[in-house]
Chain A
Amino acid sequence: MFLKRILRSVPVIRDASLRSNDFSRNKQILSAKARTQCQYSTQITPKEEPSEVKPTEHEHNAKLSAEITKQLMQFFDEKDNWGAQRVRVGRAWKKEELRIKSSTDLHKLWYVLLKEKNMLFTMEHECKAEMRVLPNPDRIDKVLESMYNLEEVVRERNKAYHLLETGETGERPFKIVFNKLGLRSFYKLWEHIVPKELHEKWKNHIFSYSHNETKNFLKLYREKLWVKKRRSKLQERRYIFQLFKRFPNVDKEYLKELYPDQDIEKLRQSKLTASHLQQKAN
């Protein structure tokens, strides 16, 4: 499988690894169970015994604890990357790459990414606690981006199925409604067992505005927005004057595309575009 490579081999804890000073806090967490195993291995030399003999309780516990630590260490990065300057990794999964993959593959990849995400967040937390720098913090963004892309691809597939079968997208429906302040808001519908008419609590729900206070508020609110817009437009105008003044050969067609609200030809003829250094070129 193509996923096999991403699944990293989990480092087995040995005596040497526990002695290292890289993460002393880890050691404290893991020490209680890991040390018992070490003591056991040094004190008693392993004998070749027939397999029929039942392991003692102590032996059984030691094995179990070793396994638990092995599982828990999957929350941490490989030991080589702990103090690394930079971990070389590729980019995130793109949508077009995920669209080729079958659903089972995507399902597996999701858990691989989830595991990686958990690992990166624990490493980030641990690095903060130990006053160290996490190598390549952009790895977190890469994993999150590919998880987002994967979810989008799954949604696309489900949408296509539902549109073909039922004529609807099959997603949670939404409406754009007015709230009590009179502003438009995005309302996601909820699923109910009881219909609307029989729902007693629903009668108190208001999707409209009628008071004079809200009307007054809306008037002032719109004025505020308009003033903001006017101010930004004036600032743009001033900026364009300066552009003409400094760069008389500036591309006018491109300026028209960038600032569609402004009349560029009219601004060009203004006195404010004149420069004391250069003559007008166009």
Chain B
Amino acid sequence: MRLFPNLNSYRNYKRFVGELTKKYGNFPESFLRRRIRQIEFKTPRGFPQYQPRTIERQNFYFGQHRPWTDEFRNQNSISSKTRIIHVEPIRDWSFFKGDRVEILEGKDKGKQGIVNQVVQERNWVYVEGLNCKLKNENKTKKSLGIYYQDEQPLLVTRDVALVDPSDLQPVSVEWRYTEEGEKVRVSKRTGRIIPIPLQAEETLDYKTRGTYVENKEKDTGEDEVLTITYEPKLKTFEMEIMEAMGIVEDRIPKKTYWY
């Protein structure tokens, strides 16, 4: 989440990128960080005459494009400058992909639709086929070009409300715990649980967690991962390996001093 943009991006990259975005990408964090960073200059490491310093881009513009894409890189090209964008901090995020929402402002006010994409860095939500703008491309003197409807972002705190499944009316939402200890969304008016849709599980690798097909040559199967082979013994790792390989060590080490 982009809370305070003037801090160093490397130190606070976790703050910059939203958790839902990370979940959707399903990338390891080191890769994501490597992909986002734009290093201008770095001192050679491992030499006493250099201090560990890097000169890199500190502020990034977050928009519709995901941070690992090339579009994001183009938007944040070296020449481009970013201005400070103020984003309201939200403690508990309650809008997910596949949710039914009602639009409260704009030209599609009062209409209901399904959430297409969530941009947590900007508190944005895209609703399928609603709040569109007519756009034109490739227009010349001879041809009209291509016209298409482009969905525009909606602010979560102001423009959009979740819909109660019992009466299809917009409600404000609260997070509570069930008796089993599960964290659920509950509508404040009726007290009914609003379940999180299956589409929220979607990542780049799979639509839902159950439908992921293993790569038989590279992946280890779930059953094999979960089998327990560990037996606690009063031995170190090296001692156990030596025993298994039949290596016997009789030498007595000389006394040493640590300083």
Contacts and interface: CB of A to CB of B under 8 A. Distances in A.
Interface of A: 2-3, 5-6, 8-9, 78, 87-92, 97, 99-107, 137-138, 140-142, 144-145, 154, 157-158, 161-162, 164-165, 170, 173, 189-196, 202, 232, 235-236, 239, 242-243, 246-247, 249-251, 254-255, 258
A239 B226 CA distance: 48
Given A5-B219, A5-B220, 19 more contacts: A2-B225, A5-B216, A88-B215, A90-B214, A97-B225, A100-B227, A101-B229, A103-B240, A137-B31, A141-B30, A141-B34, A157-B236, A158-B236, A158-B238, A189-B258, A193-B257, A239-B86, A246-B86, A250-B88
Contacts, number: 137
B88 A247 contact: yes
B31 A78 contact: no
Given A8-B218, A138-B27, A142-B28, A102 B6 contact: no
A103 B257 contact: no
A5 B217 contact: yes
Contacts of A3: 220
A247 B258 contact: no
B55 interface: no
B231 interface: yes
Interface in B129-150: none
B90 to A, nearest CB: 7
B219 A89 contact: yes
Contact of B237 (A97, A106, A239, A258): A106
- B interface, size bucket: 35 or more
B62 to A, nearest CB: 16
Given A6-B218, A89-B215, A89-B218, A196 B257 contact: yes
A193 B254 contact: yes
B244 interface: yes
A145 B219 CA distance: 15
Interface in B206-259: 212-221, 224-231, 234-238, 240-241, 244, 254, 256-259
